[in-house]
A = this chain, B = another copy of it.
């Protein structure tokens, strides 16, 4: 029996595909530092489980399709802090940012249409977009340039009659590239000139380091009718297993169309929504602490990476990822070596080969994504293991 053409086009998660080999390595007694997946070790704020434990309804009922009103109001207040004004009807609570992205693509993309997206990109975009029959047109970026893409020269030549949207993940996964508000304004201008939507994936919004200010496409009222914001509690509140995301837009057609999809799937977890209300009401100090923690981790990894001869990367400005060019020809082969052959005092490290983050064939073969989701000591040790691994691997290859 055959399956659909669309699922044949989809790929298994390149981030998860080495998991079985890592499991085997662990069964053989190796300790594996997991720098491959965006699952932070930062504690979920207590208010999440606290609110759930205080929830005393005897029937766990459907929530409204657009979301629990108290959660919507908390989100409205959260955005107000940054000077952004939204109403309940501007948002739909979704099953994580994942559903918000899928819903956005289903709502605006016809089969055969394209979105612009800087590569390397968060690999699941490919699956979400394939669900809607769309194609990614990659804006190729480079480690040497800090993966920047917000220029007319890079974006405009790629726009054609099939282009429907410019998608911006900022702060970026997997590169850590952060758009400034001026860069967002430029992208808004380009979008307006070519009548495109902007998908603003801002799930790492507060994780912008050094002197970067929080920036959002929601801060540009002149482009409000074409901006669709994707948000999530997963990273901001270290609550990845709480599947609470948001689709937000001031475009009424987009929202009422997306609501048809939302109504059909009835609602999002009532309990997770109850838990998430308090998250959006956390004080500024919460963000300051978490940001300082990630920033320290970034500095530690960057420092360690700079000790490896031949490594290319710029210090990333945000999120908790770093895409790094390594002095090896084939990173997948190197990862297999790390899991199956290498160890230092019984320890090894896992990272995500970056090839799966590129749409252009052949790119990213010598790059990896590191998620700095572990504490500084573990991040330093993981980075050290990469350094020692490269030495051992290139020695093995006779280099």
Contact = CB atoms under 8 A, between A and B. Distances in A.
Interface in A105-156: 106-111, 124, 126-128, 131-133
Contacts of A49: 55, 60
B242 A95 contact: no
Interface string A216-260: 000000000110000000000011111100000001011001111
B225 A1 contact: yes
Contacts of A1: 108, 195, 197, 225-226, 251, 253-254
A3 to B, nearest CB: 5
A290 to B, nearest CB: 13
Interface in A242-299: 242-243, 251, 253-254, 257-261, 263-272, 275
Interface in A156-210: 195, 197
A266 B60 contact: no
A253 B270 CA distance: 33
Contacts of A267: 241, 243
A332 interface: no
Given A44-B60, A107-B4, A108-B3, A243 B269 contact: yes
B6 A106 contact: yes
Nearest to A41: B59
Identify the interface centre among A62, A65, A124: most chain B CB within 10 Å of its CB: A62
A27 interface: no
A165 to B, nearest CB: 10
A241 B62 contact: yes
Contacts of A2: 253
Contacts of A264: 10, 13, 98, 124, 126-128
A52 interface: yes
A12 B197 contact: no
A159 to B, nearest CB: 15
Given A98-B264, A99-B265, A240 B131 contact: no
A211 interface: no
A11 interface: yes
A102 interface: yes
Interface string A298-340: 0000000000000000000000000000000000000000000
**9 residue pairs, one from A and one from B, having the closest CB atoms:** A241-B270, A127-B264, A7-B257, A98-B265, A124-B264, A13-B263, A10-B260, A60-B241, A269-B269
26 contacts: A1-B226, A3-B253, A3-B257, A4-B107, A4-B110, A4-B257, A6-B106, A6-B132, A7-B257, A8-B257, A12-B263, A13-B260, A40-B59, A42-B59, A43-B59, A48-B60, A52-B271, A53-B53, A60-B242, A126-B264, A127-B261, A127-B263, A127-B264, A131-B261, A243-B266, A269-B272
Given A6-B132, A7-B260, A62-B241, 18 more contacts: A1-B195, A3-B107, A3-B254, A4-B106, A7-B258, A16-B65, A37-B62, A60-B238, A60-B240, A95-B95, A96-B265, A98-B264, A106-B131, A124-B263, A124-B264, A131-B261, A241-B269, A241-B270
